[in-house]
Every structure is written in structure tokens, then in C-alpha cells.
A and B are shown apart, each in its own frame.
Chain A
């Protein structure tokens, strides 16, 4: 068994060697752990159970002592990366010790990895399109940290196509419903002038406190249009029964809506000529061109199309 003060007059010392089962990852995110598996070998094949591997930090301070498992193996040794970014070194040391009657020599293995900031990524949703030009609108912006850090209270910025900041928000306290750790905020914005399509971006830059986080950004697009002049109701009915069709997607030019249980979708649009159609799985409609000059209701007939039986499709000839 281990003896902390080896007897120098005993039999010749056995050299030892530390070997990793696999190379350590080149990069590790700040404050997170990597797991290593390693083995200590003795040239003479001694069983070293009962000894321990010492883990030292860069300054040479002992972090932990990990006892060897059977077959001189050490599985899932966890090393925690520091909270700062940069090259990181751990020293794994098998200290000189007596096993039975035999001195086993000290051996050392240096583990290097690069500590990197946490990756972040962004999502943008609830993006209306088209937006009335020169009028307020909003989008929801969310940011997720790869290690699921709490990002509440941090800020996100929205920039226009020229990189000019046009909006800002502070991430709310609780993650977005259904997500693991997506912190989000509704960001108020103002639409640019003119009828066009736009591609703006959101940007997340972490505050200097806490664990380091990389920047992230995401693009979102929207279109701008003239202010609406008229209310348009689109009613979708089933051709065979005249029953209202709920859940149909209605498209009037750039304007989109979905029918309610009355088969109605309501849109506010500028006067003009539009293509109009509706769409729902299992139905087909005919594209029509309509003129909007007043508040108006359009009706779309949806014809049921028989469901294709996958077996039917397999009939050849």
C-alpha cells in the first residue's frame, strides 16, 4: 500500500507513466468541465490501486487528488476550465510513492486546452411583414448561451442595413416558453420610409461581468408598404358544402392571414390590385386577381382534393 515516505534503501524504483485514453479537446468553454480518462502504467506491471493522481493548476496548486481505479485506470476525471479566456494548462502528477516494497517514480502529464467564451446564438420572431412605412412595429429577439447561462438583464441591439443602431432591449427574466434557456425581449422599432424589402440584424454583446460570452447576431427580413386604406375580409368556404373552412392560409398580395372558425381572415391593405388565394392541406383554390377600392369581403371556394393513399401511389404502369 501507499507509504508517503519511501525507503530509499529498498529495491530499484519502478518508472511510471501517465497516458490519456484520448487527446483532450482543443477548446473548452469557460467555467465548463472536460472529462478525461487516463491510465498510470508501471513498466513492471504493478497494481497501483490505492494511489492517487494529483491535479495541479497553472500555478502548481493542488486542485484535487483522484484515486486510481482498478487496472490503474482513472475514468472521467473532470477538469474545470477557468472563467477567463486563454490558454489553460493542468498538470496531472503521479507522485513518487511506495507500492508494496517498491518505490514508484513520479511522473507528470501536461494537459493543454484553450479556454474560449461561451457561444451564443440569437433568434428573431414575431416579425410582421409587410409593415406600414415610417410607423412603429416590434420584433421579439432572443439569445441563447451554449451553456444555458442566465442572460436576463443583458442587452440586445437591432441595427439597420447600414449598421446603424435602431433599437434596443433588455432580455427578460424568464426564458421563452418551451425553450431551455432562450432569454428574450420585445424590441420596439420604426419602419423605414418607402415600399421595399429590408434585412436588419440583431446583435448580442455580453456584459463584461461573469463568464465570457462571444458575440452573436442574426438577420431578419421584412417588407414595408403604404398605410392601409381598407379593411378586407376574406371568407373561405368549402365548395361542396359551403361550410366555412377554418385554418386556411390566406394571401392577398403581400398580406397574409389565417381563417377563424367562421372561415374569415381580416386584413388591412392599401387600395390596389392583388392576387388572392387561400391554402390548406387537402384543398385547392383558384388564384384570382382582385381590385380593392373599398372595404370589401371576398369569398374563396376551396375544393377538397382526395387524400393520396401512399399505397395508391405505388401502382405502376
Chain B
């Protein structure tokens, strides 16, 4: 089993090939790597490749932008840093929150309108819609229904069910999981996003898009450093610089910033390096697009969206004892990512079977609790002078009885007791001493953990948690051996990003459009919506706008 350390989760094609993973799609994609003929001088610059529309990132927004630009007659090159396409979207649950009167809604007798969508997403009573840019939401709402039909026309196969979306009517649809097993990144059966993403990829390729894998954008090229039109990008491929000209525009669809510790700490300094990110190790949200655009003068937008204490940009780990234990995103042994993980984790955790402690060995909250009260307590200062910001690792502590009650198997492929994310020992004191993690910045004091467990056991005797009000603590932690499993909250959404207008054109700090530069997906700011819908809508808008080169109103 691999032993993940630090934050280095970068992939290379060589690594990928070595793991003997998915061959079919990857091989098709890699075919695009061979031709990089120079396409001459333009705008005083030398370009290796030219297309009407250069898209950075082959995820949800990038692929939507490609299909859209192609149907409006533009030629498209997509550069993708990863060895395969898909970004977060291909790992997602495939729920698409598009309504406004879709054919699927009509089939199910649901009446909806663009106005309803707009009203739902600007509701001032909800933190999650209070801070969004209403012009952005209006554009989203107005293109909701047409975007859903456009997805269907472009080959996305949706299930014949509507799922509640929390708004005034049911809107969400869900794609079918992609049927080609070899083209899945995780075969976990709820990962329907593969159906959306592979369908869009197929359509984009059919219509002539070229996808350059393992090409990482390093910067944008603008006529002058902070003025004039964006001409294209510079990417890095196997150590070589590749310059790509987008004559009608460049789309940043790089997936957001959550994996970039410095970037995310601009909004919340508590989010230090120990917080892992959903979607890794397949696809890091590295802030590539944000940094490149800010370097040429772009503005961020709606940054309050990133710090509102609502929603699930952070969540409890659903799988413990592994590095990435996010919700339904499980790295099964058949995944090409599996050997980069410390295991798929111990799942279906019943928090009556375990306590959670800080890096200092103290409880901090009712373990059965949820929501931002829990996260704020987890991210608080816990008395470790080496760790002033961030809350440090959170460990689930449990005993042999808990393992039996849960029916867990200790060991691969679930957890790796020799790694950095799961530990076992004969006594509580030895368990505290055994914890060695890249993010455990000071040894856990054994006496503190012993005291914590003894005190918790007295709460089990009395049935009352005098410290944190856990509802009727049920089970002592007593029978050896004892276990410590990584349970640090995990991050997800990027909810702020680059300022754009409703036409997905990136804007600068003076509120002026940066000509030739577009943005969509989680790199785009202004609209704090979890999931795929906003990425698809604004990707589609960007593709169309660029193809028509600002001619459409």
C-alpha cells in the first residue's frame, strides 16, 4: 500500500502508466500529444498551436464550454493538466440542479420557471444565496431549462427521476453512471457524474475538439501585462513550454482553489495544510486559473461566499482512517487512484462507537454533531503552541468492541496500520504515542488521552456527557487493542473565484472586461452553488460568447 505524505498528489503519465490503470480513454486522449506544430507569429508572439477557443481544464465547465463553442462554429483546443479528463465532475454524484421548466420537470408534472430559479438562489434568508451576485444568478436562471435540454441533445443520459433541490419545486436530475467500466475513475456506484462528463467529452471530440492531456497552464498571455486582449496561454508539457493562441478567446475552467493552502487561507486562515480536499488525489483544485488571471489584473468576486458558515464546503469524514474520506467519493481497490490512497477507509461510522479528539488528545464536540458548530470547534485552537492556526488533526479513538460492533476489518484495503492515517496500540497511552502523521505537529500527550477516555467512560456509566452533551453516550472505550483513525474534516467547494459578468467574461479590479478571457466552473466567483449546474451553464455561455466573439446579446 502506498503511504501518502504531504500534499504532493501530482500525477504524471508515467506514474499513471506504471499503475497499469484505465487504458482505453487515456490512450485515446494521449494521441493528441504528438502534434505540436508551430503555427507562427501573431500579436507579436510565437505560438505553437492556434484555435479559436483555448480552454484550460477538461472538467465540467471546460467540456461544456467546448461543446458550446464547437456548435457555434469555433475550433477548440482543451489543455488538461491531468492524465485524463473529467476533473471533479467525473467523480461527482452527477446531480444536475437545472430547472426552470425542463422537459423532465414537465414529465413529472412539476411547474417551474426561470423566475422561480432566480428567486430561490437569491433568497436573502439563506446564507448560501445571500451573498451571490444577482446578475450572475439571473443569467443562470434564464438559461436553466435550455441548458438541461442542451445536455440531453448532446448525449447526456438522465435518469427519469426528479430529486428535491431544496427550492420551491423539484429540479435536480441525475445522470446515469457511464457504462464503460474502463473509463471510470471510481466505480463506486453513486458516481453518476461520469455519465455527464464522458458524454460531453465524446461530443466534444466528435465535433473536433482536441484535448491535450498532461498540459498544465503556467500563465496567460495578454497584449500588455495588465492591459489589452488576452491572446492565449503558455502551458508546460513534459518539461517543454507550449504556447497556445486562442484567437476568439481563452476559457479558464481550472476547477477552483480549495487545494491551494495559501489561496484558501486568504479567505479563512484556519484552513491550514491538514485539511484534505475531496476529489484528490485525482484532481487537485490548485487555483491555477485564479492565479494566472490575477497576475494580469483580474478581480475576485463575492468572497463572502467562501466564509459563510453554511453549506458543505467542509464536511465530516464519512470514511475514517484514510486521507480522503469524503461522502460518497470512495476510492475502491479497482480505481486507478487506489494505490495513491492509504485505503478506502472504515465506513458507516456510528459515532456512538468512537470519540473524536484533537491532536492534543482532548474531545472538542459531540461526536454525533454536524454542521458548522462542529467544524468551528474542530478548527479552533486546541492548546498546541506549534499549531496556532487551524485545528490540527482530528482523530477518531475507539476500541476492539467498536470494531466488532461495526463489523470493520482492520487492514488493507480499508486502512493501513503502517501508514500515517491509522494507528493501533495495546493501551490508550501507547496509542497516543503511536500517532505519527505529517500534520501532527506535536506528540499527543498520552496522559491527556488517557484522561479523556476515562472521563468519557464515566459519561457512559452515567448516560450524560457533561462536557459536550453527546446524546446518551452508549459504549465504553475499554477493550484492547485501541485505534486512532484520521477524521479531520475534509474540504470541498470553491465558492469564490474570478469576477465575471453574466457573459462569463473575466473582469479586472476596475470593473472592466478583460477582452478575450472567460471563466466558468469553480474558478468563477459570484455564485455560491454547490455542484455541476452553474459550471455547465456558464461553461456553455462562455463557449457561445467566445465563438460569437461578443456579437451575441
Contact = CB atoms under 8 A, between A and B. Distances in A.
Contact of A279 (B352, B461, B479): B352
A317 B128 contact: yes
Contact of A123 (B120, B128, B352, B428): B428
Contacts of A130: 461
A314 B429 contact: no
B427 A126 contact: no
A310 interface: yes
A218 B447 CA distance: 9
A255 B270 CA distance: 42
Interface string B333-345: 0000000000000
B165 to A, nearest CB: 6
Contacts of A310: 315, 318, 326-328
Given A126-B479, A279-B472, A317 B165 contact: yes
B478 A313 contact: no
B478 A127 contact: yes
B430 A121 contact: yes
8 contacts: A121-B429, A122-B427, A123-B427, A123-B480, A129-B460, A254-B462, A314-B492, A316-B530
Interface residues of A, number: 46
A254 B474 CA distance: 11
Contacts of B352: 249, 279, 281
Q: A-B pairs with the 4 shortest C-beta distances?
A: A310-B327, A121-B429, A317-B166, A311-B93
Contacts of B312: 313-314, 316
Contacts of B163: 312, 315
B129 interface: yes
A186 to B, nearest CB: 13
B164 interface: yes
B121 interface: yes
B529 interface: yes
A122 B450 CA distance: 10
Contacts of A247: 405
A146 interface: yes
A144 interface: yes
Contacts of B128: 316-317
Interface string A83-126: 00000000000000000000000000000000000000111111
Nearest to B120: A317
A284 to B, nearest CB: 11
B164 A178 contact: no
A212 interface: no
Contacts of A180: 426, 481
A98 B86 CA distance: 67
A254 B460 CA distance: 9
Given A254-B461, A277-B472, 13 more contacts: A127-B478, A142-B427, A176-B426, A176-B480, A178-B480, A181-B426, A197-B462, A218-B454, A220-B454, A221-B454, A310-B326, A316-B126, A317-B166
A179 interface: yes
A123 B426 CA distance: 8
Contacts of B206: none
Interface in A197-222: 197, 199, 216, 218-222
A179 B481 contact: yes
A316 B454 contact: no
A315 B164 contact: yes
B446 interface: yes
Given A221-B458, A315-B164, A315-B172, A279 B328 contact: no
A251 B463 contact: yes
B166 A281 contact: no
Contact of B427 (A121, A249, A312, A313): A121
Contacts of A271: none
B380 interface: no
A182 B480 contact: yes
A254 B328 contact: no
Contacts of A277: 472
Contact of A129 (B318, B461, B472): B461
A182 B426 contact: yes
Nearest to A124: B478
A257 to B, nearest CB: 11
B328 A311 contact: yes
Given A254-B463, A310-B327, A310-B328, A315 B427 contact: no
A311 B531 CA distance: 10
B457 interface: yes
B350 interface: yes
Contact of B474 (A199, A279, A311): A279
B95 interface: yes
A312 B352 CA distance: 23
